[in-house]
Amino acid sequence: MMKLPLDNAKVAYARSLAERVVSPLLESFAARSTVSIERAVLRLYGVDGVDHEDIPWPNRVVDRLKQDGRLTTGAARALAATVRASGLPVQEAAVHLAQHGLESDLNDPTEAGAAREWAELEARKALTRLAATRQARRETRLRLGTGPTPQKYLIVATGNIHEDVPQGVMAARQGADIIAVIRSTGQSLLDFVPHGETTYGTGGTYATGANFRLMRQALDEVGEELGRYIQLTNYASGLCMPEISVLAAQEGLDMLLNDALYGILFRDINIHRTLTDQHFSRMLNAFSGIIINTGEDNYLTTADALEEGHTVLASQFINERFAKAAGMPESLMGLGHAFEMNPNTEDGLLYEIAMAQLVRQVFPEAPIKWMPPTKHVTGNIFWTYAHNTLYNLVGVLTGQSIELLGILTEAIHTPFASDRYLALQNADYVNRYARHLSEEIQYAPDGRIARRAAQVLDEAVGLLEKVADEGLVPSVAKAVFAGVTRLPDGGKGLAGVFDRADTYLNPFEALLARQEVRA
């Protein structure tokens, strides 16, 4: 494949700057937790279901512990003590804890030690179950195989899981490799995970464990029919990021949208809440073999792609560093970028190629996620179809891994099945027709494409130097990314962040960090 003449020393320097950006924040992850992390811990132990008001029991337990001033030592410690004192199974013990509070004396060293022993043993069992789910997924993928790259990623978003399932199956039969169930508008701002199968939603379908299970089962069945493994994606960004990561791991999802800055910039979720939640979420994703999809493509919906392309690359370096800090291998880092240049830009196609090739070369082992044009798409479906065709051409030319297909009516309404079929036809045509084009041509060493890539890399390094000097939190406050300002004490969810007590217990964290548990 053709290569750009990149300055590898400059790429290495950019990575060292990203480490300087991320390292100061890692200390805060070790000193803090959040209500969503504690609820995720309860779900890992097996706490599930809702009460008579449809409030999830993990929320009830955490709310009760917070109300009683007992949350700082961790939900794992409280659950373990309640199980031991009551003799009840985990679910019944959680209900008792939510209704009556923590009744055990955790100051008793003998009882505290026994509770820790229970919590660590059950944590190992829970992770062993997740490891078995990962292994079963891996074996199925190897047996059936997946589609060639770029893998064709299609969305379904009816609001009703029972309508999503047949649409996802239909898309798989028409050639899609990855089905993404778009989450209902606003779910990222809910501080709880809805329970059960849902038949309502605006602009998407609620992410729930039951909905994950239904779609996973349907895609497994059609995958066996087609002789091709169909991957499933959902969204873990938002206030319940750790909990959704648990549910996805339990139900065998393959990918989750999980970005360092997306929820902060575009959903106004507090930066400390997001980054703390994200670290634990990515530890879970790494353990479960779930590919993350990051959201740098969104930067170019609020900022100009020609002027601000370097912010995408800088953010990718930061996302990569956060992921590595959580133990995530490069093979699971689906770093995102997009084809969002203004179509009226002279040589815009060359600049798009430059950016796509630059990202592909800088992160050679990552399953890069390539996003279609949206900002400049109009109701002119013929123009949109042409725009998407060029997008597909750049994707196959530069070797993108995961390609979300552009759909000709996306700017008009929630796409019909026929619109998705046309998107698949377009991608298949271009991918087949230009399959080996990159092996037949080379970039001019001092041509427009090479110069543009060098410019973006230089500007990304300059931005990373600035962020490393000032700190990520102050830089976000100054609207460095996407032209959006977010203050460190602003946004949603800050009240759910707390400092850990000296006796805080979360056995999953240590086990995930050591990667000791295997199927």
Evaluate whether 393 touches 435 at the Cβ level (below 8 Å).
no
Q: What percent of the chain has a predicted confidence (pLDDT) above 90?
A: 82
Whose tokens are 């798009």? That residue is: 352
Residue listed under structure tokens 């977010």: 486
Q: Which two tokens stand for residue 276?
A: 């703390």
| CATH superfamily ID and name for 145-453 | D-Lysine 5,6-aminomutase alpha subunit (3.20.20.440)
Band (pLDDT 50/70/90 cuts) for residue 242 is very high
61-120 residue pLDDT tens? 999 999 999 999 999 999 999 999 999 999 999 999 999 998 877 777 888 889 999 999
Nearest by Cα to 265 from 311, 208, 328 = 311
Domain boundaries defined on the chain: 33-144, 145-453
pLDDT band at 52 (very low <50, low <70, confident <90, very high): very high
Average pLDDT across the chain, whole number: 93
> Is pLDDT above 80 for 1?
no
Measure the CA–CA gap between 447 and 455, rounded to whole angstroms.
12
Lowest-pLDDT choice from 48-57, 259-268, 440-449: 259-268
Give the CA diameter of the chain.
74
SS3 content of the chain, % helix, strand, coil (to 5): 60, 10, 35
Amino acid at 498: F
Look at residues 311, 373, 388, 369 and name the one whose alpha carbon lies nearest to residue 340. Answer: 373
For residue 369, the surrounding DSSP H or E stretch is: strand 369-371
List all residues 6 or more positions away from 33 whose beta carbon is below 8 Å from its beta carbon: 74, 276, 497, 498, 500, 504, 506
Amino acid at 63: D
* Bridge partner residues of 155 (DSSP): 180
- Nearest-CA neighbor of 36 among 195, 249, 237? 237
* Predicted confidence band of residue 147 (pLDDT cuts 50, 70, 90): confident
Q: What is the structure's pLDDT at 416?
A: 78
How many CB atoms lie under 10 A from the CB of residue 24?
A: 12
Q: How far apart, in whole angstroms, are the C-alpha atoms of residue 300 and residue 310? A: 11
Asked if the model's pLDDT at residue 471 lies above 60, the reply is yes
Residues with active-site annotation: 262, 297, 369
Predicted pLDDT at 408: 82
Contacts by residues 99-102 (CB-CB < 8 Å, ≥ 24 positions apart): 99/64, 101/64, 101/65, 101/68, 101/70, 102/65, 102/68, 102/70, 102/78
**Cβ partners under 8 Å of residue 432, min gap 6:** none
Contact 408, 381 (CB under 8 A): yes
pLDDT band per the 50, 70, 90 thresholds, residue 518: low
Strands 333-334 and 336-338: unpaired
pLDDT value, residue 482: 84
Q: How far is CA 120 from CA 36, 76, 98, 510, in A?
A: 20, 9, 22, 10
50-59 LR contacts (CB < 8 Å, sep 24+): 50/195, 51/98, 54/195, 55/192, 56/192, 56/193, 56/195, 57/91, 57/94, 57/95, 57/98, 58/94, 58/243, 59/191, 59/192
**pLDDT recorded at residue 462:** 97
Helix (H) or strand (E) holding 85: helix 75-86
pLDDT average, residue stretch 163-173 = 95
Least confident range of 62-76, 172-186, 370-384, 488-502: 370-384
Question: CA-CA distance, 241 to 426, in Å (whole number)?
Answer: 34
At residue 516, the pLDDT reads 66
pLDDT, tens digit, 9 for 90 and up, residues 432-455: 999 999 999 999 999 999 999 999
| Cα 354 from Cα 150, distance rounded (Å) | 18
Residue 400: band (very low, low, confident or very high) from pLDDT cuts 50, 70, 90: very high
Give Cα separations from 53 to 49, 59, 424 (angstroms): 11, 12, 43
pLDDT band at 375 (very low <50, low <70, confident <90, very high): confident
Residue 55 binned pLDDT confidence (cut-offs 50, 70, 90): very high
Q: What DSSP character marks residue 303?
A: S
DSSP code, position 3: -
Beta partners for 256? 234, 292
Name the band, by pLDDT with cuts 50, 70 and 90, for residue 380: confident
Tokens 């990855």 map to which residue? 178
Sign of CA dihedral 143, 144, 149, 151: negative
Please, which pLDDT band fits residue 411 given cuts at 50, 70 and 90?
A: low
Token code pair at residue 322: 């956060």
- CB neighbourhood size of 405 (10 A): 27
Residue 409 has what pLDDT? 76
Q: How far is CA 101 from the centre of its chain?
A: 34
* 276 in Cβ contact with 497 (< 8 Å): yes
